[in-house]
Structure 1
Amino acid sequence: MIGKLKGTVDEIGEDSCVVDVHGVGYVAFCSTRTLGAMHPGEAVVLFIETYVREDMIRLYGFQSQLEREWFRLLLNNVQGVGAKVALAVLSTLTPPELANAIALRDIAMVSRAPGVGKKVAERIVTELKTKAPAFAGEATGTIGLKQELGEGVAPAPIADAVSALVNLGYSRDIAANAIASALKTAGEDADSSKLIRLGLKELAR
């Protein structure tokens, strides 16, 4: 089994690339996001998922191990989701965005991916609900905060800070992301004014 390719980008196609590793060209199917970060002639490292069937062997390449884990999660846990649909989802949403969408049951966001209808999107958010936090990466803290806000159990200073940013015209999602980042700097005991100030600083970056 191939777990990683480290070489030079030889070709970039519509849904795949060829990576030259010491004179051997490996074809790897990738998300449009991964392909968009590549340039012919440049060095590349791809984390590989090897897909073996009776009639073929395919390599799927990812920029990060986290993206590969999400591909496996979609492929192995959601009925009706094959490799093509899984790549379409990862082409449309980053792993943190996908984790947020699942945590918030945002079916509309998931269904933005080409070939993903409402029913498939609903299955994704339902069947991965309990598995998403383990693969959320840096989004985990934000997911927890959004769940607390949605359930009305977030601490008052945090809820007030998010509400203040929403009143300034930011979406609830963007406001929650900013306050989640502010919490890392300010700590859990920070008051709302400090969180608002740091949240605005995050949004100004």
Structure 2
Amino acid sequence: MIGRLRGTLIHKAPPWIVIDVHGVGYELEAPMSTFYDLPAVGAEVALFTHYAQKEDSVALYGFLREDERRLFRDLQKVSGIGARIALAVLSGVSVEAFARLVQSADVAALTRIPGIGKKTAERMVVELRDRAADLAAGPAGGAPPPPGDPLAEAITALQALGYRAPEAERMARKAAGDGDPPEAIIRKALQQALR
């Protein structure tokens, strides 16, 4: 599975981009939210990726931010939503704005996104409400925690293990001691969770 690519951006024409990684050109489809922030052709770029294989096709999707990739994957878990509609959602609204729309059950605003009808919008609200809270609380822009911040790194790791953002933060703060590296915070947080 391909989870991330870093290389030279050699072509971009919405929705397609091509990244050269040590002589291999990877063609990816990306939402406009990623296109807006791409560097110029010839510059280095790093993208989170989602690999999709179907009976008749293989596709690779690229995202500048982890929260975009997570929303892309979550959207496809809603019945009736595939990659095309998930890309349209990310092209039409930010992750934070989408989370707010779902949490407030704003079906009318969701139907303004191309490809989203009333029934699909209602399904999104019902099926993504819990996940939307995590998206809204996630790290800003899906950026990795700043290097050297053990508490933030521990929170991110706990979220990767499946804990919701508020719960991961509570666990890490409770377990953190002065000067603890991320690994120690995570270990203590998990031990406390098992008690």
The answer to whether structure 1 residue 61 and structure 2 residue 44 are counterparts is: no
Question: What is the DSSP-based 3-state SS (H/G/I as helix, E as strand, rest coil) of the residue aligned with 2:76?
Answer: helix
Quote the Cα distance in structure 2 between the aligned partners of 1:50 and 1:128: 22
Identity across matched positions, percent = 41
Give the TM-score of the pair, scaled to structure 2.
0.67
Matches within 5 A, 1:66-85: 66-76=67-77, 78-85=78-85
Instruction: Could you tell me which runs of 5 or more consecutive residues in structure 1 were left unpaired when the two chains were aligned.
Output: 141-205
Structure with larger Rg: 1
Higher normalized helix content (fraction of residues): 1
Deviation per residue, 1:168-191 (Å, 9 max, x gap): xxxxxxxxxxxxxxxxxxxxxxxx
- For the pair 1:10 / 2:13, whether they are aligned, the reply is no
Kindly indicate whether the alpha-carbon contact (under 8 Å) linking 2:67 and 2:138 is maintained by their aligned counterparts in 1.
Answer: no
RMSD over equivalenced CA pairs, Å: 1.7
Query: Structure 1 pair 15/128, CA: closer, same or farther in 2 (3 Å)?
Result: same
- How many aligned residue pairs are there? 139
Question: In the TM superposition, what is the alpha-carbon distance from 1:138 to its structure 2 partner?
Answer: 4.9
**Aligned partners of 1:52, 1:108: CA distance in 2, in Å?**
33
Where do 4+ consecutive residues of structure 1 move more than 3 Å? 137-140
Indicate whether 1:51 and 2:67 are aligned: no
Q: Secondary structure of 2:120's match? A: helix
TM-superposed deviation, 1:41: 1.2
State the shift of 1:131 in Å: 2.1
Report how far residue 139 of structure 1 moved.
Answer: 8.7
AA matched with 1:30: A
Secondary structure, in 3 states, of the residue corresponding to 1:130? helix
Q: TM (normalized to structure 1)? A: 0.64
Q: Does 1:20 align with 2:23?
A: no
Give, in whole Å, the separation in 1 of the partners of 2:110 and 2:92.
8
Residue pair 1:96, 1:138 contacting (<8 A) in 2 also: no
